[in-house]
């Protein structure tokens, strides 16, 4: 009986590990949506948004969407992105300023640092 339980636990652990997707692969990230619904207080202002989303529409392109507390969801921008290991870098290829924003992909969470503030996006 103990042997059956041990084998069952091993099989369950193997299935759980093999089902974990590697979101640091652009092919896996493409077609996914990530949501941030907790925002830092910036310049003493209250949170004006219900959430913000990142919609990865391809292996190189992402769209940003925002949902204000008193308004509809709207597209707030587009960007390109590149991934190196677990670091994701967003940039606007049409900008002359070469501004980029960097984040870290950790399983089903992307943490983005922007102007000293941390924004956490969770896989939907």
How many Cβ atoms are within 10 Å of 84's Cβ, its own excluded?
9
User: For 42-98, what is each residue's pLDDT tens digit?
Assistant: 776 667 889 999 999 999 999 999 999 999 999 999 999 999 999 999 998 777 777
Structure tokens at 85: 């290991």
Which residue in 78, 112, 107, 80 sits closest to 17, CA to CA?
107
pTM here is 0.79
For the chain, state the CA radius of gyration: 18
Q: What structural domains and CATH numbers belong to the chain?
A: 23-123 (2.40.128.280)
């Amino acid at each position: 009986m103990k042997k059956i339980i041990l084998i069952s636990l091993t099989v369950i652990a193997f299935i759980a590990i093999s089902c974990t997707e590697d979101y640091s692969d652009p092919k896996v990230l493409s077609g996914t949506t990530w949501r941030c619904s907790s925002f830092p207080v910036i310049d003493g202002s209250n949170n004006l948004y219900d959430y913000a989303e990142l919609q990865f529409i391809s292996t190189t392109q992402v769209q940003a969407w925002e949902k204000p507390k008193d308004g509809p969801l709207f597209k707030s921008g587009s960007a390109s992105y590149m991934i190196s290991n677990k670091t994701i870098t967003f940039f606007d290829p049409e900008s002359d300023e070469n501004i980029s924003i960097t984040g870290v992909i950790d399983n089903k969470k992307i943490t983005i640092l922007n102007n000293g503030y941390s924004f956490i996006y969770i896989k939907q």
